[in-house]
Amino acid sequence: MTDDKTLLSRIDELVAEEHELRTKHASGEINDTDEHARLKALEVELDQCWDLLRQRRAKREYGENPDNAAARSADTVEGYLG
């Protein structure tokens, strides 16, 4: 079970890593390939975290148990159109 606070903490960690990665790239510490690969992985995990948080909030709003929300696969989350 993941609660909202844990999800928000993980989101903050991922965003901080993204900023650190961009800083390292700008200073030449990592190359384009490594930066792009890790950025893609961060993007997917962030999307999954936000999706789970939205599910939890929706369940709570409609009187359901937010602990019944489940993380969706990367393929599912990345396939959303919006």
pLDDT average per 10 residues of sequence, the chain (82 residues) = 91 97 95 94 96 97 96 90 62
Predicted structure pTM score? 0.89
Percent helix, strand, coil in the chain (nearest 5)? 75, 0, 25
Integer Cα distance of 11 and 1 in angstroms? 16
pLDDT at 19: 96
Using a 10 angstrom Cβ sphere, with 0-12 exposed, 13-18 middle and 19 or more buried, the burial of residue 30 is middle
The half-sphere exposure of 55 on its side-chain side, counting CA atoms within 13 A, is: 17
How far apart are the C-alpha atoms of 15 and 42, rounded to whole Å?
Answer: 8
